[in-house]
Structure 1
């Protein structure tokens, strides 16, 4: 299984640190030349690989961590996203009428033809997501929502490999609403920093 993070802002950095902590290789891409951020990826760890967007979209599982208004440009990188899982880590302040009154992830899914989309890792602030998820003898929770149970299960397994405790919330139209930010309508679980004890 291959992994990529598209977007290397605060959230992209936080995700890269999670992969580095666990020695899991992940490609990191933006729309910029990879040489422009290669020193940043190298500083995080040897398993964090600078890549072009064209290289990153070859991964099996892709974390979409760009600004919300930038995702359509990423979606154009492939004519079909069949066989890939997209993890939507974005939040948006776009008003509901701009999103066809859909949860933001359901709206985004329409742009990635054939992909299996999972909403996840977006409810934590970047500085919290960047920290070791092992906390006080427990594990930091990440919420996942998807209309594809198999994709949610795969991302749940990856979340555990990264040290988190995944909690599945159901589909995008119900569970997804709990973890999305849109306009002034904030999901009830946005920015909740929860820990589970086994």
Structure 2
């Protein structure tokens, strides 16, 4: 299984650190030349591999950590996303609901990445929190996952566990998924909630 993070801002960095902590290889890419962020990647660890966008999208599981407005540009990188799982880490805060046809932002992202299995996840924490080790006081930091594809949610749930997080599935995009989506100028109820799960 191969992994990539598209977008290497604060959230992209935080995700890369999560992979680096576990020694798991992950490609990182932006629309810029990989040379421009190679030293940033190297500073995180040897398993963080700077790539071009065209190379990074060959991965099986792709974290979409760009600004919501930029997702259509990334989607153009491949004619079809069949066989790939996209983790939508974007937040559509400030985007008028009418612009999304009144549907959750993840549905708009799913339409752009035609053929992909899409999971909304890792987007409810601010970068500074996501950046920290998910092992907290003997528990694990929670990440919420929502998807209309149960198999994809299970796959990303297993990856989240490998990265040291405690995944909690919320169901489909239009049900529990709304708790982790911004609508217009309001945030979903679970966004910014930093929760820790303890195994009793």
Give the TM-score category using the shorter length.
over 0.9
CA deviation string 1:20-53 (max 9, x = no partner): 0000000000000000000000000000000000
1:167 is paired with a residue whose SS is strand
Matched-pair contact (CA < 8 Å) for 1:134–1:163? yes
| Structure 1 partner of 2:101 | 100
Partners of 1:31 and 1:189 in 2: CA distance: 31
| Structure 1 partner of 2:52 | 52
| Structure 2 partner of 1:160 | 161
Give the paired residue count.
198
Partners of 2:32 and 2:176 in 1: CA distance: 34
Following TM superposition, by how much is the alpha carbon of 1:182 offset from its aligned partner in structure 2, in angstroms? Answer: 2.5
CA deviation string 1:51-99 (max 9, x = no partner): 0000000000000000111111100000000000000000012010111
Task: Judge which range, 173-182 or 109-118, deviates more.
Answer: 173-182
| Structure 1 partner of 2:188 | 187
Q: How does 1:64-75 map to 2 (within 5 A)?
A: 64-75=64-75
| Structure 2 partner of 1:16 | 16
Partners of 1:133 and 1:34 in 2: CA distance: 28
Following TM superposition, by how much is the alpha carbon of 1:185 offset from its aligned partner in structure 2, in angstroms? Answer: 2.6
Following TM superposition, by how much is the alpha carbon of 1:146 offset from its aligned partner in structure 2, in angstroms? Answer: 0.2
| Structure 2 partner of 1:35 | 35
Following TM superposition, by how much is the alpha carbon of 1:186 offset from its aligned partner in structure 2, in angstroms? Answer: 1.4
Q: CA RMSD in A?
A: 0.5
Matched-pair contact (CA < 8 Å) for 1:91–1:182? no
Partners of 1:106 and 1:123 in 2: CA distance: 17
Matched, 1:114 2:115: yes
| Structure 1 partner of 2:173 | 172
**TM-score normalised to the size of structure 1?**
0.99
Structure 2 regions of 5+ residues with no counterpart? none
2:112 is paired with a residue whose SS is coil
Partners of 1:178 and 1:107 in 2: CA distance: 16
Partners of 2:132 and 2:14 in 1: CA distance: 8
Partners of 2:43 and 2:174 in 1: CA distance: 39
| Structure 2 partner of 1:133 | 134
Runs ≥4 residues deviating over 4 A: none
